[in-house]
Amino acid sequence: MTTSLKSSKRNNLSGEIVIPGDKSISHRAILFGLLSKGKTQIQGSQNSEDVLNSLNVARLLGIETKVKSSTIFLDSPGVEGLSAPTTDLYFGNSGTGMRLFAGFLSSLNFSSTLTGDASLSNRPMMRIIDPLQKMGAKISASYKENPPLKISPSSGLKGITYKMPIASAQVKSSILLAGLNAEGKTLVQEKYATRDHTERMMKTFEANISSSNGIIEIEKSDLKTPGQIEVPGDFSSAAFFISACLISENSEIKIKNVGINETRKAFLDCLLDMRANIDLTNIRQLGNEEVADLVIKSSDLLPAKIMEDIVPNLIDELPLFFLIASLIEGESEFVGLSELKHKESDRLSIMISNLQELDVEVHSNEDSLKIVGKNDRIFSDGVFDSHGDHRIAMTMLVAGLRSPKGVIVNNIDCINTSFPEFVDQAKTLGFNLNNG
Ligand code: S3P
């Protein structure tokens, strides 16, 4: 892939694509396959750098792995048979990989060091270190609260009751994974509901887990592989094309096999409330997750009002949501955005400055935002950097659809961390993409 691309105005998007596998679910399928004895086949996995880094870590812990197109084959000796890694465990760009693996590695009787790229090495880890230490884990950060994370052999974890100070599926999952191998019960109380792929997959692997009224309870469990896991398409990847179609004139596209888990699809629900022309067809169950085919048509949307409680369910779609808001007549409002500052980049500051660069009126106040949109807005040309963040790169390429002179996005290699097929699929749907 070239490192810069220019995206220019294009109407009449059309065509049909099958969206590749979900990142969150692919990570978890590898992790649970690793923790359960025997063979697990993961079908439709995401083939991204993030997921392949998790797979490599699983291999370093002593399991056999094979990849054939989008199917991953695992053969694990089970938790007892895992071996101490002889090198650092590298998670690349992925906070999900590092935080989830740290949870169960903290319960094992060998040392490990977890490292990442420049972006991951700057991300906050106290959010998992604190609860894991409360469970008895010997885990520490290297500098302040940043990776590398060092884990010393465990002398046994104890279950805790933990009230989450932030809404984070990664933190919740890290604690639940430690709870799988801890004495007694572990209870996690969520601040707001976050994506529940971990809980669903734990049920598929027969863990002792239950949840009610926002409290999840787990006990020491011996996982059993179902043998085969099917991964739905990634809603967060589909969101780029949903948005592209909504903001382009005379467009109609179909996106097949999109995961529509209740805790992931708040962006879709909000768009439907905002009068987006989107039909959900062929709704069906894929393992423990729900999927649908989406038919999207150009739409004249109403402004958005997004409050803090649903932010976790559309957290990864927010950069795109801000872009769309700038193209809707009227003022859109977003509240409770602080977690956006702690992603692969500071997505809040970057999107504010990118929109201002495109002459959009934006009012920000700590962790809230008001965006004054215009539905006939045409963006001037512009040059943007991805800041090494895949979602910023793809969002700005979608912005180019409203720019006759074109928007250049530099350093787009990071798109491979979550969506290596993005450029090809965008071209299939009619995006006007050229080397920048
Ligand atoms: C993820 C949870 C979210 C999300 C990330 C994937 C997961 O992060 O932003 O892309 O797979 O659990 P937080 O839990 O930190 O909000």
pLDDT tens sequence across 391-418: 999 999 999 999 999 999 999 999 999 9
Mean per-residue pLDDT, 73-85 = 97
Q: Which of 94, 96, 390 to mutate to test the pocket of ligand 1 (most atoms within 8 A of CB)?
A: 96
In DSSP terms, which residues pair with 361 in a beta bridge?
372
Distance CA 229, CA 56 (A): 19
Listed by start position, the domains of the chain span 4-21+232-435, 23-230
Task: Give the mean model confidence (pLDDT) for residues 44-50.
Answer: 97
H-only helix segments in 90-227: 95-105, 126-134, 169-179, 197-204
Average the pLDDT over 321-335 and give the result: 98
Mean local confidence (pLDDT), 337-366: 98
Assign 2 a pLDDT band (cuts: 50, 70, 90).
Answer: low
Give me the half-sphere count of Cα atoms (radius 13 Å) on the Cβ side of residue 39: 6
Please state the atom number of ligand 1 nearest to the C-alpha of residue 236. 10
Cα(248) to centroid of ligand 1, in Å?
29
Query: What does the DSSP 8-state code read for residue 123?
Result: S
Q: Under the phi-then-psi rule, with left for phi > 0, alpha for psi from -120 to 50, and beta for the rest, what region is 288?
A: alpha
pLDDT band for 10, please (50, 70, 90 cuts): confident
For residues 265-294, average pLDDT: 98
pLDDT digits (tens, 9 = 90+) for 83-105: 999 999 999 999 999 999 999 99
Quick count: other Cβ atoms within 10 Å of Cβ 69?
A: 9
Given this chain, do its domains 4-21+232-435 and 23-230 carry the same CATH topology? yes
The torsion angle over the Cα atoms of residues 267, 270, 276 and 281, rounded to 10 degrees, is 60
Q: Is the pLDDT of residue 116 over 90?
A: yes
Average pLDDT, the chain: 97
pLDDT confidence bin for 71, thresholds 50/70/90:
very high
Catalytic residue numbers read: 316
Q: How many helices and strands in the chain, by DSSP H and E? A: 12, 26
What backbone phi and psi angles, to 5 degrees, belong to 63? Answer: -110, 160
Q: How far, in Å, from the CA of 194 to the mean position of ligand 1? A: 9
Mean pLDDT of 277-281: 98
Ligand 1 binding pocket mutation candidate from 195, 216, 311, 414 (most atoms within 8 A of CB): 195
Distance 152 CA to ligand 1 centre (A): 26
Q: What is the pLDDT of residue 412?
A: 98
CA 232 centroid distance within chain: 13
User: What letter would DSSP give residue 263?
Assistant: T
Ligand 1 atom nearest 24 alpha carbon: 11
Contact (Cβ atoms closer than 8 angstroms) between residue 56 and residue 34: no
Top-level class of domain 23-230: alpha beta
Q: Is the pLDDT of residue 326 over 70?
A: yes
Residues with CB under 6 A from ligand 1: 24, 96, 168-170, 173, 195, 315-316, 339
Pick the CATH number of 4-21+232-435 from 3.30.470.10, 3.65.10.10, 3.20.20.70, 3.20.20.140: 3.65.10.10
Task: Indicate which atom in ligand 1 lies nearest the CA of residue 194.
Answer: 14
